[in-house]
Each structure stands twice: as C-alpha cells, then as structure tokens.
Amino acid sequence: MSENNSSIMTIADFNIKSITEDTMSALDIHNSIISAEQTAAAAMLSLCENLKKMRDTALYKSLGFVSFEEYTEQACNIKKRQAYNYIQTYEKLGSGFLQSNAQLGITKLQLLTEVCAVDRYEFVEDNDLENMSVSEIKELVRQNNQRGEQLTFFEEKVSTAEQDISEKDKIISELKKQNEELRNRPIEVAVQEPSAEEIEKAVEKKTKALKAEFAEKEKQLKADAEAKIKKEKDKAKTTAEKDKQKAIDEAVAKAQEEAKEKYKEQIAAAEAEKAEALKKAEELALKLDKNANADLVTASIYFTEVQKQLSSFKSAAEKITTANPEQGAKLKTLAINFLSEFMSSIS
C-alpha cells in the first residue's frame, strides 16, 4: 500500500472548494474504503501468521485433529494446498512485504516468491502488478528470472577470466623476481643474460597479450549468451516444422504399409490362381493328343499369369510413387533391371 493510504485523510487533504452534504458523505465513504483496505491487509497478515503458528506448534491436536491438513479443511474450510500457500508466501516474503502488498492477493503474492529477494521491491515498483493478470505477472517473473540467470552465468564467466588473469599476473611477478635474483647473483660463468630493458619489454608484451585474451573472452561470453537466447527462439520455431514433417512421414509410412498389405493380398490371390491354372493345364494336357506339346500349354498359362501379375505390380508401384516419389522411382528402377535381365536370359 502507498504511504498516502496508510492513514485516514481529512478535508484539508483534498482539493475541496466548498463543503456540502455530498462532500461530507463522500469523505465518510472514502475513509470507510481506506479503513477496509487497511483491515484487509492486516487480516491477510494475521491469517498467514496464525496458520504458520498452528502448524509449527501442532496445537491443532489439542482441538481433536490428527493432522494440520485435517484441521484446515474441517475447522477452517481452507484446502490444505491453499493453507500451505499462505504459510510459504509469509515465510518467503516476510511480514513487512506481505502487509505492504496485501492488496495484490495471495495468488499474485505467491508468484513474487519466485523473484530474487534482492530484486523483489524494485520489481514491484517497476510494474503495475495490481492491474495485471496472474498470467501476465507469471510471464514477467519468468523473463526476470531468465535475465538473472543469464547475468549470473556471464558474471561467473567474467570472474573465472579475471582469476585466470590474476594467476598469470602472479606468474609474471614471480618471473620478474627470479630474473632480479639472477641479475644480482654473482656471475661464476660467463652467461649472456637479458637486459632489464628486454625483460621489461617481454613482461609488457605478455601483459598486453593477456589483456587482449581477456577482452576476447569477454566478447565471446556475450556472444554465447545472445546465441543461447536465439537458440531457444529457433527451437520453438522449428518445433512446429518438425511436427508438420512428422505428420507427413507418418502419412507416407501408413500409405506404404497399406500398399504393402494390399500387395501381399494380391500376391496370395495370384498364387492361388496360378495353382488353379497349373492344375487345369495338367488336366488339359492329359486330354490333348499324345503328339500335343503339354509344355507349350503350360508356358502359355504361365505367360498369361505373368501379364496379370505385372499389371498388379504396376498399380501398386503407381500408388507408392504418389505417396513417396523417391521410393516409387527406386521400385521402378528395380523392376526395369529385373525385366532387362530376364529378356537377356531368354533372347
């Protein structure tokens, strides 16, 4: 609640030019509203505090209830989930924050428990939560927490990089110390040592390289954070496309399976017809003159059967090509190769 609403206002607090009966009535109603608002805030706080006290002390047992949940549902007509919502909200927000923002209601206040305690007061001040819906506040909290996670991730990376530079600075400092000791040590053997100027230049060069490396790491960390956000957006965008492609693939697979089953049925029917035709051919051969060529009759029947099977194969291949052109093309190529080899074998 704002500071202006913390106490009853008098006539002097309003821009009133003349006092009428309506003015006095309006002032009475206004003060009643403010009093009710303050009472509601105090009631919210009292409800949360006393539910917590009853649970923590287990005094509900002295009233004949076995559990806290049984007490809240039967004696207070409050669902156990709602009772725990009141308690957890009170424990996480504290009495001061809860009383100052009681006008938001328990549902919105519970959402605020998900906001980092450090950012909570600023979050309330920066947003008109009272005039926002629960779903709008929930999305706002999600975005705020996501930004906090990204910032924490970036700060951890920067801290790691700074530690690396600190360690390297220590190494450089130790190298300087060792070089100084070498310069001050009595020369027992003629050794060509680097000059102080050369050492200083080398250290300066190394320091510059480390700073450049740190700047590059910092730049990369920022790029990684932006890429992560973009990846999440792209992931959401491509999910719909994947679902659409999955539906297409399932439809194609179903069509192929139906065509396969139908082809099996046609093959079975053709085998039955072939067996019947062979039986008739044998019977016919027995009835023909002894000089007649029974093999020629059998070959004619087989040729008729081949024509029927090729026609059935063509129909099945056309259906598969309609559902999946790529598989249809492969099937046609196999058929052409088979027929070509067969023609070569009988030519």
> pLDDT 10s per residue in the chain (347 long)?
333 344 455 656 666 667 777 667 666 666 666 665 567 668 888 889 899 999 999 999 998 999 999 999 998 899 999 999 999 999 998 888 888 888 888 888 888 888 888 778 888 888 888 888 888 888 888 888 877 666 666 666 666 666 766 776 777 787 777 777 766 765 544 445 567 777 777 778 877 887 788 788 878 887 887 887 788 768 766 775 777 788 778 877 887 788 678 778 878 887 887 778 777 766 665 665 544 566 776 777 888 888 888 888 888 888 888 988 888 888 889 888 888 888 888 77
Residue where a domain stops, chosen among 103, 130, 157: 130
Structure tokens at 100: 């100052």
Judgement on whether residues 238 and 264 belong to the same structural domain of the protein: no
Judgement on whether residues 87 and 165 belong to the same structural domain of the protein: no
Judgement on whether residues 62 and 90 belong to the same structural domain of the protein: yes
Q: What are the CB-based long-range contacts (under 8 Å, 24+) for 183-187?
A: none
Q: How many domains does the chain have?
A: 3
Q: Which residues of 232-268 are buried (b: 16+ CB within 10 A; e: fewer)?
A: eeeeeeeeeeeeeeeeeeeeeeeeeeebeeebeebee
Q: Has residue 285 been placed in a domain?
A: yes
Return d(Cα 125, Cα 119) in angstroms, integer.
10
Q: Has residue 53 been placed in a domain?
A: yes
Judgement on whether residues 69 and 31 belong to the same structural domain of the protein: yes
Judgement on whether residues 161 and 58 belong to the same structural domain of the protein: no
Q: Has residue 189 been placed in a domain?
A: no
Counting runs of H as helices and runs of E as strands, what totals does the chain give? 9, 0
Q: Has residue 43 been placed in a domain?
A: yes
Task: Say what the pLDDT of residue 51 is.
Answer: 92
Helix (H) or strand (E) holding 121, with range, is helix 117-126
48-79 tens-digit pLDDT:
989 999 999 999 999 899 999 999 999 889 99
Q: Has residue 136 been placed in a domain?
A: no
Task: Say what the pLDDT of residue 148 is.
Answer: 66
Judgement on whether residues 274 and 298 belong to the same structural domain of the protein: yes
Judgement on whether residues 263 and 241 belong to the same structural domain of the protein: no
End-to-end alpha-carbon separation of the chain, Å? 101
Q: Has residue 190 been placed in a domain?
A: no
264-310 tens-digit pLDDT:
887 888 788 777 877 776 666 566 554 456 677 677 788 888 888 88
Judgement on whether residues 45 and 108 belong to the same structural domain of the protein: yes
**Of the candidates 141, 38, 49, the residue with the CA atom closest to the CA atom of residue 90:** 49
Return the DSSP state at 291: T
Q: Has residue 176 been placed in a domain?
A: yes
Is 43:99 a contact under the CB 8 Å cutoff?
no
Judgement on whether residues 119 and 214 belong to the same structural domain of the protein: no
Q: Has residue 68 been placed in a domain?
A: yes
Judgement on whether residues 220 and 330 belong to the same structural domain of the protein: no
Judgement on whether residues 46 and 90 belong to the same structural domain of the protein: yes
Report the alpha-carbon angle 50-55-60, nearest 5: 90
Owner of token pair 């004619």: 300
pTM: predicted TM-score of the whole model, two decimal places: 0.37
Q: Which domain holds residue 66?
A: 3-130
Judgement on whether residues 31 and 7 belong to the same structural domain of the protein: yes
Task: Say what the pLDDT of residue 1 is.
Answer: 38
